Chain A
Amino acid sequence: MTDSMESENEKMDTSVKPTSLGSVASNAPKRAPGTLAMGRGLEARGIHAWFGKNHVLSDVTLDFAAGTVTALIGPSGCGKSTFIRTMNRMHEFIPGAAMAGEVLLDGKDVYAPGTDVTKIRLQIGMVFQKPNPFPSMTIGQNVLSGLKLAQLKVDNKDDLMEECLERAGLWSEVKDRLNAHGGSLSGGQQQRLCIARALAVRPQVLLMDEPCSALDPGSTLRIEETIRHLSDSMTIIIVTHNMQQAARVSDYTAFFLSDNGPGQMIECAPTSEIFSRPRDKRTENYVTGRFG
């Protein structure tokens, strides 16, 4: 099954989309938007972030074209996680947090006054580093929890549950025990349950903050497969410490670095370019393992 999906992706890669990544767009491997509504993608414009007086992220501008997977790599503390948390406005939960810049979802600023932040988070889903299913809910309830939280109505909950678990690659493993508690699953299964949970509200964008760092290699592989399948239908941004993982799953890779100052985005290019001929010396040093 995985193989057939991959070959499909290869075919789609031939078409080129104009709305991405400025100068490097011409030689980028492009993916056509999938069949589901993906919108026009996500654009970050001049993002800065602060914690109190501490300037942690400086002037990041990045486009995430619809239907692409972008990996954010870089050493610890370079602002990758902070950056993706500004995308769905999770940044503001940290006391003392501040930001500047714009995040455009379908051309609309998610920080515009009067924006309903809960609607933003429905459109931009998130998967965290540590699997965090709700332990008081069953597997099935976990998948549908987003709908309940946002008071959304769907016609056929069972179909949706199956579809989401299927897309997260978990259906065959849990279909007989949907009423078991979420905590009874293994770590990798829990993480896929969290992905299924994020999918149930049908986000356009999925943010993944080191989703595999707490998992064993087998589970990591399953999640990477899931990511590749999902990229047909949504925009994915994944933070990872693992350069091989970035190389395996992403279309684009952005390298972040903090040089005793705020974190900055050094370079963003198609993944193959970042790993074969990076333009910046620091990127090269990092991807070749000279530091980080």
Chain B
Amino acid sequence: MPQTYIQPSAPAPSSGVAIPREITTEPRFSDRVFRGVVTTGGLSSLAILGLITIFLGYRGFEVLRQEGFNFITSSTWAITTDDAGNVVESHFGIAAMLVGTILCSIVAVLIAVPISVFTALFLNFYAPAWLKKILVSVIDMMAAFPSILFGIWGFLVLMPSVEYWAKLLNHYLGFIPIFHVPAYYFTRSPFIAGVVLAIMIIPIITSVSREVFSQTPLDRIQAAYALGATRWGMIQAVVIPYGRGGVVGGAMLGLGRAMGETVAVYTVLNIVYQVNWQMLFGAGGNIASLIILKFGDASPYEIKALMAAGLILFALTLLVNAGADLMVKRFGGNKR
């Protein structure tokens, strides 16, 4: 027996004061091995995340030290080598890429969140059961589409439409700075990348929101209906306050995905080494795409710069994901 238990009939000490007996569990050898192996396996995620940080940091260290703070504040990406391949001069800055990454992801989240929340509400509170079942499968299926598919579809099918909308937005709302363009060029803009990313993260945000909404306590829903609420009145009074935090968490999860997406963005975005906040203009930046773009013919030293860029991207997504996780845990659970 691996465990020993206190016998209920054990005689009390004669003093009359009960002394708690310690329950000792002496695991068998096989169990100790088992626990050791499982714990090692369990700690692998820690090891992998740690190793990623260490190796990217180690490789990128030289560049980061040379560039210092300029690495994230300047936008120049240039390297000159002599015939022997020695680096003559180099400037690495990812400001434009960083801004572009954030801009595209924010556009994506702003588009995806309302659509996802509407979809989640529709699935939970409006759709008949049979329709809900089908839609949930279809939307989950969409989450399994490979990203290169979104990229190529986005480039060949979606882009012409989105360009048309972008022109409309610019035409009617061009006086607002973010809809302004410095030149009449709309192809492969951050806006288009944002729309493609939005489509990619809608399934994620929808499924998190749906999950949170479906946990709304039934008694509160009934209380609202019993007070003469319409369906929307009930959602406003009960579902939204309950699910708000979870939706924010889901949105951040989507933001993290959007920031790390590589191939789809690379396909539809025009990479330009200049900070550009005007999302309709066909010039953007993206850290992940920069890596793909430069990797093919990069010199060893430039590779180090790409590693440093990867480290920044890793830190950024980790931060956003951690925040998302906390939000979902905090507000997605049983409290409130």
Contact = CB atoms under 8 A, between A and B. Distances in A.
Interface of A: 88, 90, 93, 95, 118-122, 125-126, 128, 130, 132-137, 145-146, 148-151, 194, 197-198, 201
Given A134-B241, A135-B336, A136-B241, A150 B219 contact: no
B237 A149 contact: yes
Contacts of B234: 149
Contact of A90 (B222, B230, B238): B222
B316 interface: no
A20 B290 CA distance: 82
A206 B129 CA distance: 32
A118 B336 CA distance: 26
Contacts of A133: 223
A150 B227 contact: yes
Contacts of A148: 233, 237
B128 to A, nearest CB: 10
B42 interface: no
Contacts of B217: 132
Residue from A122, A125, A146, A148 with most neighbouring chain B CB atoms (10 Å): A146
B49 to A, nearest CB: 36
A119 B229 CA distance: 9
A182 to B, nearest CB: 11
B226 interface: yes
Interface string B32-72: 00000000000000000000000000000000000000000
B237 A126 contact: no
Contacts of A149: 224, 227-230, 233-234, 237
Contacts of A88: 226
Contact of A150 (B220, B223, B228): B228
A117 to B, nearest CB: 9
The 3 closest A-B pairs by CB, nearest first: A136-B241, A122-B228, A149-B229
A132 B222 contact: yes
B122 interface: no
B204 to A, nearest CB: 26
Nearest to B217: A132
B186 interface: no
A197 B129 CA distance: 32
Contact of B336 (A126, A130, A136, A201): A136
A90 B223 CA distance: 10
A255 to B, nearest CB: 25
A128 B241 CA distance: 21
A146 B242 CA distance: 18
Given A132-B219, A132-B220, A136-B241, A125 B226 contact: yes
Given A134-B241, A135-B336, A148-B237, A121 B129 contact: no
